[in-house]
């Protein structure tokens, strides 16, 4: 079985993001970038399926600037087999990503696509669902457990009322939750081997897909800083502040 995993290059989750001086977006100059954490979980799950002899090949796909090759190499060092980079400097929104991934799926014919449930930069949580609709494949979102039984997928997902288990017919789209697994660190020998693994480079134009943004960002601002707390001497003072200053009662 062939598995396709989509990964995204984002600002590292340990970095404190800063807004550009002109309020047009987030400052990316000289900022540490890494693989989206949810995508790391997707890569790890694909590798575990391969180690269990359920999967024969893992293909990594990333859409973004030339530097996204580093993100693909990280996944290859973890244990994936080959990569595809769809290179573009333009802003890519979820529907465009889903359309490009659909074209890749049409060419590669995977039986399973695994994505992170959302990227930590835009928090859109849309690409997996859109890809499922475009391909007309079954989907299991927010997966916290994944099992393969012959030609079926058993997906445990977290919902408001607890846990829900779905039995899906493949081909299928899976989006990963944090509790699905804990990604491994790539060993030095595997990092060296990853340098020799192939990465195919393409452009959005090769697929005939219009990636023009459908949404325009008007302004990006930092949230207001939290004010210092106030020590009060009595309950009546607290009630007065809640009523007259906070206006919550």
Whether 72 shows a pLDDT value over 90: the answer reads: yes
Is residue 97 in some structural domain? yes
Which structure tokens are listed for 41?
């979980």
In a domain, residue 249? The reply is no
Q: What is the mean pLDDT of residues 170-195?
A: 93
In a domain, 39, yes or no: yes
Q: Is 85 helix (H, G, I), strand (E, B) or coil?
A: strand
Q: How many whole angstroms separate alpha carbon 148 and alpha carbon 39?
A: 20
Task: For residues 35-52, give the mean pLDDT.
Answer: 96
Describe the crossing of helices 127-135 and 94-108 by its angle, rounded to 10 degrees: 50
What is the pLDDT at residue 27?
87
Judge whether 199 lies within some domain: yes
Helix (H, G, I), strand (E, B) or coil at 205: helix
> How far, in Å, CA of 35 to CA of 60, rounded?
12
Query: Is 209 within a domain?
Result: yes
Establish if 159 belongs to a structural domain.
yes
Q: What is the CATH number of the domain that holds 13?
A: 3.40.50.620
Within the chain, where are the H helices? 37-51, 68-78, 94-108, 127-135, 188-194, 235-244
pLDDT of residue 217: 87
Query: How many domains are contained in the chain?
Result: 1
Average pLDDT over residues 9-38: 90
Encode pLDDT of 117-153 as tens digits. 999 998 999 999 999 999 999 999 999 999 998 889 9
Phi and psi dihedrals of 45, rounded to 5?
Answer: -65, -40
Q: Between these two residues, 229 and 58, which has the higher pLDDT value?
A: 58
Range of the domain at 208: 2-244
Please write the tens of the pLDDT for every residue from 75-123. Answer: 999 999 999 999 999 889 999 999 999 999 999 999 999 999 999 998 9
């Amino acid at each position: 079985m062939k598995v396709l995993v989509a990964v995204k290059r984002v600002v590292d989750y340990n970095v404190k993001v800063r807004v550009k001086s002109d309020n047009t977006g987030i400052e990316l100059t000289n900022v540490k970038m890494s693989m989206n954490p949810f995508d790391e979980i997707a890569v790890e799950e694909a590798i575990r399926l391969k180690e269990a002899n359920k999967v024969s090949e893992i293909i990594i796909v990333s859409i973004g600037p030339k530097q996204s090759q580093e993100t693909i190499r990280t996944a290859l060092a973890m244990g994936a087999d080959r990569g595809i980079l769809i290179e573009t400097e333009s802003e890519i929104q979820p529907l465009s990503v889903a359309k490009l991934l659909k074209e890749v799926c049409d060419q590669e014919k995977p039986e399973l696509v695994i994505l992170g449930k959302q990227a930590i930069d835009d928090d859109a949580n849309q690409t997996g669902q859109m890809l499922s609709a475009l391909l007309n494949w079954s989907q299991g979102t927010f997966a916290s457990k994944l099992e393969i039984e012959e030609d079926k997928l058993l997906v445990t997902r977290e919902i408001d009322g607890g846990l829900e288990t779905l039995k899906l017919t493949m081909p299928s789209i899976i989006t990963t939750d944090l509790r699905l697994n804990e990604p491994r660190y790539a060993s030095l020998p595997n990092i060296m081997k990853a340098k020799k693994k192939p990465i195919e480079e393409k452009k959005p134009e090769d697929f005939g897909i219009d990636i023009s943004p459908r949404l325009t960002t008007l302004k990006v601002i930092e949230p207001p800083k939290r004010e210092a707390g106030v020590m009060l001497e009595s309950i009546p003072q607290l009630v007065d502040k809640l009523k007259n200053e906070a206006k919550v009662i």
